[in-house]
Chain A
Amino acid sequence: MLKKTIRYLALCFILAPALMSSAQSSSSGTKYHNVKEVQQMLKEIQQKNAVNTRLHTIATSPGGEPVTILEIGSSQTGVPAIFVGANFEGNIPISTEGALRLAKMLTDSASYTEGLKWYIMPNPNPDAAKSFFAGVKYGRSVNDFEINNDVDESVNEDGYDDLNGDGYITQMRVKSPDGTHLISKNDLRIMVRADAGKGERGEYNIYLEGIDNDGDGQFNEDGEGGINVGIAFPHLFPAGNKEAGLYPGQTPEVYGILRFIFDRPEIAMVYTMGSSNFCLVPPKGGRKGEANLDRIKLPGRYARMLNADENQTFTMDEVIEMVKEVVPAGMEVTPSMVAGMLGLGAVVNPLEDDLKFYSKFSVEYKEYLKAKKFSIENLDPEPAKDGSFELWAYYHLGVPSFSMNLFSAPKVKEEKNEEDNSISLEEVEKKSIEKEGELSDREKALLAWSEKEWDGNGFVEWEKFQHPDLGEVEIGGFVPYLETTPKPEHVDSLLAVQLPWLLQLTKKMPEISFAKEELTELGSGVYKLELFVENNGTLSYPIAMGQRNRQPAPLIVVLDGDFEILEGLKRTPLGSIGGNQVRKFTWLISTNKKAEISAKLESAVFGEKVKQIKIGG
């Protein structure tokens, strides 16, 4: 019972719904494209731009569908790339449309593909995406990977059933003495959880629409599929959730994506279109269990090695200084190295320095939307899920990871009383009591949205039904996809406003180059060489997370020529360079000839830049 309720609550978030059969095509000609059509569109884009684009099929889904990535700017080498993935959970079709539109924008105009490459993946979870277009709708997010969810003697034997034949899986409420829910006093359509602490007793139990097909006493516990591609990546992988698979990348779509991206170190930024929105709301922090780098305790053997007191705590900077004492002189000691050595574990909260740029860009994005008269008084985007692609991109790739949800229903505006500011404590309490039983912002917004845009059809009114297992029940509730999927005629305008921001964000990317060089003769053919390397972008390279996990490819200065290096290295790793910052690097060289120094800035992300410096010119 409880399980059912939890399942219901969970689904409430992803479900919601709408007359999609009529919604898929509309008078404006806009429509949601099914899996085959998306494939076809990718092919067409590729054929139209054959010189500069390529298609990569990186996996075949368990349901036999190809997972395809469109590369734009394929004729270029030595340039950074942006990876765009959309609709990982398969139940947010507008995100697939967003990725396709972005691909079109990029191929229509060359302005964002000069010196920049794009990888666009509109449909990483085609098996789930298919179900939006066919059959009974329930917001399916899992692929066709065979999973016996209830580990009984048969597979996929107890999925949802569209009992009232309306094409949607909604809810069933059934009167029961041990019920957990009540009908809201404010709106008879909405079910609220009874609060025993307030003297309420539940009258209804709530299930998702279906029968106990296998007669084991549970409803819908083993439906079709599968693994949800959108929660099957290795950061905070939700082990134990069958819909994530047994380990990250067990399903071929995810394994293929991981391989594809790691094979391309030039990918320097990642965009995700789905349910979270890092453009508006920075990735959330506050997760427990992370090592505090200001209070590091040194395990016994390291304390002894470093001559430190094992009963004390140290800051990261202090530990770095201690480690420097015991490693060969000149060896760079980084926080990442120390964290690895001491086993400080994984980072699970966004690093402070990275939150700065997320917050800054979020403010800019809100201004941008305001200027475009685009309301942001909408339901909040969901936080990124554990095991999601966007979290993995930030924590494991160590690159800026931005996401967009492209649509959410407008909030219902409250009429505010000006005097609210000065009310007494008692009045506050009184008000809060009045609020009991009130609908959530989400329910209000969705009901209003259903009225406004779906002629009320976004909510299936409760109707009696004679259920084979439960007797008399009522079936009703929000229809699937209502919350995430606007009518097709709105898609154009939503994308037209929001997508250009992703193009603007590319202007924030780091741009690394030589700023200046200075060569000073110290006498007798000994010279001091100073190279200034600048980052003209807003974002640092790497971002803080990339510095911590050392995943982004290093920036290297390589010196060549007919001289001897007295101090410094032929290949010098530059470490990190902050946004709008310049760093100076110094070498001591010696030559008696009128030689030339070739200084090469080398990077798997930014390519190569060479500077020739004449000696004794």
Chain B
Amino acid sequence: MKHLTILILLVFLSFSGYPADKGKIEVPLRFDRYYNLAEVEEALRALNQAFPKLTKLDVVGKSEEGREIFALTINNPDTGKELDKPGVYVDGNIHGNEIQAGEVCLYYANMLLTNYGENEQITKAVDKNAHYIIPVVNVDGRYYFFEEGNTPSTNRSIRVPYDDDGDGLFDEDGPNDLDGDGNITQMRIKDPHGQWKADPEDPRVMVRVKPGEKGEYTLLGYEGIDNDGDGRLNEDAEGYLDPNRNWGSSWMPPYVQRGAGDFPLSGVGLKAIADYIAARPNIIVGYAFHNMGGMWLRAPADKSIRLDPSDIAAYDVVGNEALKMTPGYVYHASHDLYSTYGDFTTHLYFINGILGFVGELFMRDQETFRNEDDKTAATASAGRGTSTERNRELLAFNDYLTQGELYKDWEKFDHPQFGEIEIGGWVKMSSRLPHPFMLPDLVHRNASVVLHSAQHTPEIEMEVYDVKKLDGNLNRVRIRLENKNGLPAMTAHAFKTKLYEMDRLMVNGAKVVAGGKITDKYFEKVSYKEKKPEIQFLALPGYGVVEYEFLIEGKGNVTFSFESQKAKNVKTSVKL
């Protein structure tokens, strides 16, 4: 806390790439900047006030520290009630440090609202769907990421204290922003027996010495002091409850899955969001944005779980197209990255029948001055073991294109425990976040993917295509249901496991003597339903076509209605 004032000053000073006075938050929102938590809320209010008819701003619940979690609903009441339309859910910043995920959500809302009535595709998506947007899930994390010293990866956790080092104290030894610059960078100490030396070409880069070579430095790790005097640095930082390991489906306790939390949805904000989603059974597709690596990940996150093939096909409709909008991304099942228990997308799929995606934003590969075909193995691979050559390139990018904002030069510091050391390295706004000059491109491409899947939400057409009078009072009516889009009206998994009220085709107005699905229209084979033929349960896949036959007794108006939680209901009638 004591660094807060200095820090706020420094945050403003250090971002000289855009004006220190970022100005009033107005619609249309700007995306050449990052919004802190208070500004995200202000931006949501601004959107809500600018579009009072199309939007609703709700408080979903409160976080561990009592901060409010906001959801913006976009729905055009003139085209129907929210719950009657296929729902599209999008959230971000579940990990507190992954802030640009929040900007993608804000951009999506801004894009839909400011282009409504102007752009045909967008107007249609606003009219057809209900959009639920939670830009910041981990509100405490985002707050601290801006307000305190951080690495690019800290303040990921939910604020539930955890005794990481098993000494009976909670969160007592996190990193410390020793130089008060708002960043946790690295510490190095001069050491003739050290294993590191400065790169002769760019002395900011640390290079490991060759066997037998004399070193100059020992790397001490992230900026900090041994607060609890146990001879270890920064080993019990804030949390740790990983908000993407705390969901209800296939949850495992912390000794099996690190960061799981004590029990499913023990995070109060997460529980509130789970309840929020459950109260909106119209949601068919969901996005959770994260910030590392350029990936579209689908359920499941645990490789022991199988998905129904027809649901994978539905995922692929969106996933494969998404790759065209976000060049360089990969698309695969979440467990191909690594297996996790209790993640959000698995919960969406197994608990809510929602096709959930993770969008891993930002590829650091884009911080380059090479063309794609010019990349060598040494420069192309990002990830943990970054090569010296790649480090020089990243620093050059920092120098030329961000005017030095992403890297803090090594500077002397008098450390209370180590004596004279140097502090320096990549700042918190680097490494996992695009510089604001690259942000507009990132948010637009990724929001376009969400829009694209909104366009793919189910749209059912129903047609009575054949009515034939049989003997006496009996009519044979054939009816066709067609899903015009790529996402199912109900996932195959939800249907097979009886997850929620099944989609159904209902006949009203006359007695149905027999009825069932036409399994072969050329040989006229019908699979009759033995009981209650007037109600037929079905799950209509993406682009699916199904036909039913009913033998109906009597005369008059007969109504056929398709009822679904996730697709817009349709009705048709025929006079017999």
Known interface pairs A152-B501, A152-B535, A571-B230. Does A604 touch B253 (Cβ–Cβ under 8 Å)? no
- CB nearest to B263 among chain A residues: A258
What are the residues of chain A within 8 A of B258 when measuring CB–CB?
340
Known interface pairs A152-B535, A571-B230. Does A550 touch B530 (Cβ–Cβ under 8 Å)? no
- CB nearest to B352 among chain A residues: A246
Chain A 552-568 per-residue mask, 1 if CB under 8 angstroms from chain B, else 0: 01101000000000000
Q: Is the CB of B231 within 8 A of A246?
A: no
Q: Is the CB of A246 within 8 A of B351?
A: yes
Q: How many residues of B contact A (CB 8 A)?
A: 45
Known interface pairs A554-B168, A602-B168, A603-B168. Does A249 touch B255 (Cβ–Cβ under 8 Å)? no
- Interface segment, B62-70, B244-252, B306-314? B244-252
Q: Is the CB of B501 within 8 A of A215?
A: no
Complex CA gap A554/B231 in Å reads 19
What are the residues of chain B within 8 A of A336 when measuring CB–CB?
255
- Interface segment, B147-155, B400-408, B474-482, B492-500? B492-500
What are the residues of chain B within 8 A of A340 when measuring CB–CB?
255-256, 258
Known interface pairs A148-B501, A242-B498, A553-B168. Does A247 touch B255 (Cβ–Cβ under 8 Å)? no
What are the residues of chain B within 8 A of A240 when measuring CB–CB?
497
Chain A 247-277 per-residue mask, 1 if CB under 8 angstroms from chain B, else 0: 1111000010011001000000000000000
CB distance from B351 to the nearest CB of A (A): 5
Complex CA gap A152/B536 in Å reads 10
Complex CA gap A129/B247 in Å reads 30
Q: Is the CB of A151 within 8 A of B498?
A: yes
CB distance from B231 to the nearest CB of A (A): 7
A139 at the interface (CB under 8 A from B): no
Q: Is the CB of A247 within 8 A of B251?
A: yes
Within 8 A of A (CB), among B474-518: 497-502, 504, 506
A285 at the interface (CB under 8 A from B): no
A217 at the interface (CB under 8 A from B): yes
Known interface pairs A234-B264, A258-B263, A336-B255. Does A248 touch B248 (Cβ–Cβ under 8 Å)? yes
Chain A 195-219 per-residue mask, 1 if CB under 8 angstroms from chain B, else 0: 0000000000000000000111100
Q: Is the CB of A262 within 8 A of B166?
A: no
CB distance from A7 to the nearest CB of B (A): 15
Q: Is the CB of A570 within 8 A of B501?
A: no
Q: Is the CB of B255 within 8 A of A551?
A: yes
CB distance from B511 to the nearest CB of A (A): 13
What are the residues of chain A within 8 A of B350 when measuring CB–CB?
239, 246
B229 at the interface (CB under 8 A from A): yes
Of B168, B256, B504, B535, the contact of A571 (CB 8 Å cutoff)? B168
Q: Is the CB of A249 within 8 A of B263?
A: yes
Q: Is the CB of B251 within 8 A of A234?
A: yes
What are the residues of chain B within 8 A of A217 when measuring CB–CB?
530-532
The prevalent SS among residues of B at the interface is loop
Q: Is the CB of B263 within 8 A of A339?
A: no
A173 at the interface (CB under 8 A from B): no
Q: Is the CB of B230 within 8 A of A345?
A: no
What are the residues of chain B within 8 A of A262 when measuring CB–CB?
262-263, 266
Chain B 232-259 per-residue mask, 1 if CB under 8 angstroms from chain A, else 0: 1000000000000001111111111010
Complex CA gap A395/B254 in Å reads 12
B167 at the interface (CB under 8 A from A): yes
CB distance from A470 to the nearest CB of B (A): 14
B4 at the interface (CB under 8 A from A): no
CB distance from A577 to the nearest CB of B (A): 15
Complex CA gap A290/B563 in Å reads 44
Q: Is the CB of A234 within 8 A of B531?
A: no
Q: Is the CB of B255 within 8 A of A216?
A: no
B38 at the interface (CB under 8 A from A): no
Q: Which of B253, B504, B531 has its CB near the most chain A CB atoms (within 10 A)?
A: B253
A153 at the interface (CB under 8 A from B): yes
B393 at the interface (CB under 8 A from A): no
B169 at the interface (CB under 8 A from A): yes
B119 at the interface (CB under 8 A from A): no
What are the residues of chain B within 8 A of A248 when measuring CB–CB?
248, 251, 263-264
Complex CA gap A249/B247 in Å reads 11
Q: Is the CB of A570 within 8 A of B229?
A: yes
Complex CA gap A395/B339 in Å reads 22
CB distance from A563 to the nearest CB of B (A): 14
Known interface pairs A234-B251, A246-B351. Does A573 touch B166 (Cβ–Cβ under 8 Å)? yes
Q: Is the CB of A249 within 8 A of B499?
A: no
Complex CA gap A510/B251 in Å reads 31
B228 at the interface (CB under 8 A from A): yes
- CB nearest to B498 among chain A residues: A151
Q: Which of B166, B263, B535, B563 has its CB near the most chain A CB atoms (within 10 A)?
A: B263
What are the residues of chain B within 8 A of A33 when measuring CB–CB?
none
What are the residues of chain B within 8 A of A249 when measuring CB–CB?
248, 263-265
Of B265, B506, B532, B563, the contact of A215 (CB 8 Å cutoff)? B532
A548 at the interface (CB under 8 A from B): yes
Q: Which of B230, B253, B255 has its CB near the most chain A CB atoms (within 10 A)?
A: B255
B537 at the interface (CB under 8 A from A): yes
CB distance from B168 to the nearest CB of A (A): 4
Complex CA gap A502/B498 in Å reads 43
B409 at the interface (CB under 8 A from A): no
Q: Is the CB of A570 within 8 A of B266?
A: no
A343 at the interface (CB under 8 A from B): yes
Q: Is the CB of B497 within 8 A of A569?
A: no
What are the residues of chain A within 8 A of B266 when measuring CB–CB?
258-259, 262
A297 at the interface (CB under 8 A from B): no
Within 8 A of B (CB), among A388-440: 395-396
CB distance from B265 to the nearest CB of A (A): 7
What are the residues of chain A within 8 A of B250 when measuring CB–CB?
239
B461 at the interface (CB under 8 A from A): no
Q: Is the CB of B228 within 8 A of A152?
A: no
What are the residues of chain B within 8 A of A247 when measuring CB–CB?
247-249, 251, 264-265, 347, 351
A549 at the interface (CB under 8 A from B): yes
A529 at the interface (CB under 8 A from B): no
What are the residues of chain B within 8 A of A396 when measuring CB–CB?
253, 263
Complex CA gap A560/B303 in Å reads 50
Complex CA gap A301/B139 in Å reads 35
A150 at the interface (CB under 8 A from B): yes
B163 at the interface (CB under 8 A from A): yes
- CB nearest to A341 among chain B residues: B258
CB distance from B306 to the nearest CB of A (A): 13
What are the residues of chain A within 8 A of B229 when measuring CB–CB?
569-571
Complex CA gap A570/B247 in Å reads 38
Complex CA gap A343/B501 in Å reads 37
Known interface pairs A151-B500, A240-B497, A262-B263. Does A343 touch B228 (Cβ–Cβ under 8 Å)? no
Q: Is the CB of A550 within 8 A of B168?
A: no
Can you list 9 A-B pairs, Cβ within 8 angstroms, ordered by A?
A: A234-B264, A239-B249, A247-B265, A340-B258, A346-B256, A570-B230, A571-B169, A571-B229, A573-B166
List 16 extra interface pairs beyond A249-B248, A396-B263, CB under 8 A. Answer: A148-B501, A153-B535, A215-B532, A217-B530, A246-B248, A246-B350, A246-B351, A247-B249, A247-B264, A247-B347, A262-B263, A550-B254, A553-B168, A554-B167, A573-B166, A573-B167
Instruction: List residues of B whose CB falls within 8 A of some A CB.
Output: 163, 166-169, 228-232, 247-256, 258, 262-266, 271, 339, 347, 350-351, 497-502, 504, 506, 530-532, 535, 537, 563
Instruction: List residues of A whose CB falls within 8 A of some B CB.
Output: 148, 150-153, 214-217, 234, 237, 239-240, 242, 246-250, 255, 258-259, 262, 328, 330, 336, 339-340, 343, 345-346, 395-396, 548-551, 553-554, 556, 569-571, 573, 602-604
Nearest 4 A-B pairs (CB), nearest first?
A247-B248, A217-B531, A549-B255, A258-B263
